[in-house]
Amino acid sequence: MTTPFDWTLATRAAKMNPSAIREILKLTERPGTISLAGGLPSPQTFPIDLFTQACNTVMERDGAAALQYAASEGYEPLRRAVADMLPWAVDPGQVLITTGSQQALDLIGKVLLDKDSRMLVETPTYLGALQAFAPQEPIAVGVASDDDGLLVEDFAAQVGSGVDKARLAYVQPNFQNPTGRTLSEQRRTALVQQAGALGIPLIEDNPYGDLWFGTPPPAPLTARNPDGCIYLGSFSKVLAPGLRVGFLVAPQAVYPKLLQAKQAADLHTPGFNQRVVAEVLKDGFLERHVPTIRALYQHQRDTMLAALARDMAGLDVAWTRPAGGMFLWLRLPEGMDAQSLLPAAVARHVAFVPGAPFYAGAADPRTLRLSYVTASSSEIDTAIAALADAIRAQQAAG
Amino acid sequence: MTTPFDWTLATRAAKMNPSAIREILKLTERPGTISLAGGLPSPQTFPIDLFTQACNTVMERDGAAALQYAASEGYEPLRRAVADMLPWAVDPGQVLITTGSQQALDLIGKVLLDKDSRMLVETPTYLGALQAFAPQEPIAVGVASDDDGLLVEDFAAQVGSGVDKARLAYVQPNFQNPTGRTLSEQRRTALVQQAGALGIPLIEDNPYGDLWFGTPPPAPLTARNPDGCIYLGSFSKVLAPGLRVGFLVAPQAVYPKLLQAKQAADLHTPGFNQRVVAEVLKDGFLERHVPTIRALYQHQRDTMLAALARDMAGLDVAWTRPAGGMFLWLRLPEGMDAQSLLPAAVARHVAFVPGAPFYAGAADPRTLRLSYVTASSSEIDTAIAALADAIRAQQAAG
């Protein structure tokens, strides 16, 4: 008998290796380690009792249908609820329920990307999007970005032409993962105008948009040109990620293709989960619930910003000041490398994610991502002090 | 503003169109139509009370973890339960929990298939597999098959060589969808031997294996050479499809690649659903439950076989006699076409699925698939009589 070592794998498989982040997250499972690495919403925000009640209601009222095969488009009342909650006119027929918004990226890649297709992303960009598009073997090109998000002039410069014309541009305009940045109103207007003029689909991923502190972010790109964008949303950050319920909103011209890709990928998102989410959404629950998440995360962001100001003083470290979301982005002193810093940090019982994997092109090795939503305020204080200590030790050694 | 009609889609998107079956299934939603078309398990087999209880137990004991992000491999106790229930020695580390076994096909395609890769399938084969592999744009080649399943000589003849050597062979050895056929013991031995000698991964899809009538089917292909096969299983037919919990078992040499593809596809299968299934499986529930499904489906198969013998007499119609599963395969008289028959059947309030979409190559237009698990026994009687009437009318008209 032969073994699978004889098997010929797809060429893309050579690039499929356990991600750097996965390996780091394993380290954080050591007892006593405070993780600022993961993007785990705070479990204290999960409305467990309400979910339990919704499970019982769904099973009692609609158990057989909830447990049966269902339409690939999604559960009709949930599609309507999604359409109703979005801030522009959305036909529920344009809403496709996905198994987390991660799956929406997979479907979009299948419909828009061929091998070697050019695609534009922010610098840096969401690592999970790079991974979701990777099976189609596109060429990801980073558009230069600053504190106000992607630079629209560079977007236009990078679009390319002919067969090399970008097939899509992927953006997280609100409290971006990994940087926490928000695309300014002015740039949104300019980006939508440019993308429309150039015929480039904007893939607007908005998992964090509801988690604003103080004032809401500017209107979504899709609201400004629904026919020129595919919008991705998720219940993972405002309800709970473990149900894996997300959605996309797509123009009629590509919706049937995305639907076909969805059907081939997993037939449909669990009907039970869709009904539980629809049940929980009833009576405006999110309007009461989301402000409590905002308040918690704003407090934890403030704790982290204060700790950074205190502990990193004199260290030539810079960081972003997110107006919402879950992450901030830190830049180490000149000559330092976040990947090399990690073992020293883990030895001090704190974990973070080095920034390099978030870049489509050349990475800035000094960058790293910190989450302020999983650890408690007192853990954040401890962790930032430990991180500063690790940086100081590294500087003294270097 | 431009519209997405300007967008350049992936070349594969041209082939992504609503499937024939989807359109047919819409017809069956008309009130009064008896559908023998779908593959919907009988909802009376869903253990709704037990599921409700399991939901409550999971939420109470483990709610925060069930609602949080989780490992892409799956929930450890469920992976162990899967390993334990399979009839060969399986390390839980080789089990990957998937969002239905449909997703396992998507992941396998990503890891094993490049554009224009040759892949072997049965004649006919599961339509959903053709759809799941389609995004990788392989060339699907049908291996000749008879009532005992795939012909191993033709398998060897179709393998190809060099860059055209088949990357995988996809088989449903038990009560195959769409034909209801079972691969004989002798052919299993020969197929595993040949595939091993030739270095061809066998993708063994076994959603129906537990639904045997009378005697269990021969041992799985994978049990005979675990390093030469990827095995796919599902809880959709023995518990309920609406939770979308399936699994694959893969050799260590490809498991990490499949895991990476899983992570990129949807991060993980809902942790809540995995826990509910693990809870339901406890204390040997399936051993008590599955025999009741077998008895029900056997009775309905018998009803359909008796109705066919009675109503198709003298019509030159042939059909398979499945020893388990959910489907039988029917062949119309010479000169008839199942696609053309469908409107006449729907006019008589009965729906089926024409066989053509199940063929990788040239289709036999006389074939069609009938399910005996969704409709009740008395509906089956009514539906088969109506189908015979439609055939007779078509013959008279022809």
Residue B4: inside a domain: no
CATH of the domain at A364: 3.90.1150.10
CATH of the domain at B219: 3.40.640.10
Residues B278 and B292 placed together within one structural domain of the fold: no
- What residues contact B57, with CB distance under 8 A and at least 6 apart? B279
User: What distance in Å separates residue B190's CA from the closest CA in chain A?
Assistant: 12
Residues B101 and B29 placed together within one structural domain of the fold: no
Q: Do A13 and B48 touch (CB under 8 A)?
A: no
**Is the model's pLDDT at A73 over the cut of 90?**
yes
Q: Are A192 and A198 in contact (CB under 8 A)?
A: no
From A227, A262, A285, give the residue that closes a domain: A285
The share of chain A scoring above pLDDT 70, in percent, equals: 96
Supply the pLDDT for residue B398.
73
Residues A122 and A203 placed together within one structural domain of the fold: yes
Residues B278 and B296 placed together within one structural domain of the fold: no
The question of ipTM being above 0.90 is answered as yes
**Is the model's pLDDT at A117 over the cut of 80?**
yes
Supply the pLDDT for residue A6.
80
Q: Are strands A149-150 and A145-146 parallel, antiparallel or unpaired?
A: antiparallel
Supply the pLDDT for residue A31.
81
Supply the pLDDT for residue A5.
63
| Average model confidence (pLDDT) across chain A | 94
Residues A199 and A117 placed together within one structural domain of the fold: yes
Nearest to B257 among A9, A112, A257 (CB): A9
Q: Do A273 and B268 touch (CB under 8 A)?
A: no
Supply the pLDDT for residue B39.
86
Q: How many CB pairs under 8 A join A and B?
A: 289
Among A108, A35, A109, A17, CA closest to B263: A17
From A285, A300, A324, give the residue that closes a domain: A285
User: What are A366-394's pLDDT values in tens digits?
Assistant: 999 999 999 999 999 999 999 999 999 99
Alpha carbon distance B127, B21 (integer Å): 9
Supply the pLDDT for residue A30.
75
User: What are A313-324's pLDDT values in tens digits?
Assistant: 999 999 999 999
Residue recorded with tokens 């073997």: A137
Minimum Cα–Cα distance from A114: chain B residue: B10
pLDDT band at A15 (very low <50, low <70, confident <90, very high): confident
Across A352-361, average pLDDT: 95
Q: Residue A210, Cα to own-chain centre: how many angstroms?
A: 13
Q: What is the pTM of this model?
A: 0.96
Q: From the candidates A225, A239, A257, A279, which should be mutated to test the interface with B, based on the most B CB atoms within 10 A?
A: A257
- What residues contact A167, with CB distance under 8 A and at least 6 apart? A112, A113, A114, A117, A118, A119, A138, A201, B7, B8, B10
Residue B344, token pair as written in the block? 């006449």
Residue B315: inside a domain: yes
Supply the pLDDT for residue B221.
98
* Chain B hits for A19, Cβ within 8 Å: 260, 263
Residues A209 and A119 placed together within one structural domain of the fold: yes
Minimum Cα–Cα distance from B98: chain A residue: A266
Helix A76-85 / helix A271-281 crossing angle, nearest 10 deg:
40
Supply the pLDDT for residue A39.
86
Nearest to A227 among B4, B225, B268 (CB): B4
* Chain A hits for B265, Cβ within 8 Å: 102-103, 106, 132, 265
- Which residues of chain B, if any, have pLDDT below 70? 1-5, 18-25, 27-29
Q: Are B234 and B100 in contact (CB under 8 A)?
A: yes
Supply the pLDDT for residue B31.
81
Residues B280 and B292 placed together within one structural domain of the fold: no
From A267, A285, A303, give the residue that closes a domain: A285
Q: Do B4 and A240 touch (CB under 8 A)?
A: no
Exposed e or buried b for every residue in B271-306, given b needs 16+ CB within 10 A?
Answer: bbbbbbbbbbbeeebbeebbeebbebbbebbebbbe
Residues A220 and A120 placed together within one structural domain of the fold: yes
- Three-point CA angle B235, B205, A247, nearest 5°: 60
Q: What's the number of domains chain A is made of?
A: 2
Q: Are A281 and B31 in contact (CB under 8 A)?
A: no
Q: Are B2 and A199 in contact (CB under 8 A)?
A: yes
Nearest to B199 among A7, A165, A196 (CB): A7
Alpha carbon distance A28, A279 (integer Å): 35
Strand partners of residue B97: B247
Residues B22 and B121 placed together within one structural domain of the fold: no
pLDDT band at A18 (very low <50, low <70, confident <90, very high): low
**Is the model's pLDDT at A20 over the cut of 80?**
no
Residues A40 and A61 placed together within one structural domain of the fold: no
Residues B155 and B22 placed together within one structural domain of the fold: no
Q: Residue A193, Cα to own-chain centre: how many angstroms?
A: 24
Q: Is B334 left (phi over 0), alpha (psi -120 to 50) or beta?
A: beta
* Chain A hits for B1, Cβ within 8 Å: 196, 225, 227-228
Among B202, B173, B136, CA closest to B323: B173
* Chain B hits for A67, Cβ within 8 Å: 43, 46, 48, 51, 240-243
Name the residue range of residue B199's domain. Answer: 48-284
Q: Do B264 and A134 touch (CB under 8 A)?
A: yes
- Three-point CA angle A266, A268, A270, nearest 5°: 105
Residues B322 and B223 placed together within one structural domain of the fold: no
Alpha carbon distance B18, B29 (integer Å): 17
Q: Do B106 and A265 touch (CB under 8 A)?
A: yes
Among A128, A133, A129, CA closest to A110: A133
* Chain B hits for A228, Cβ within 8 Å: 1-4
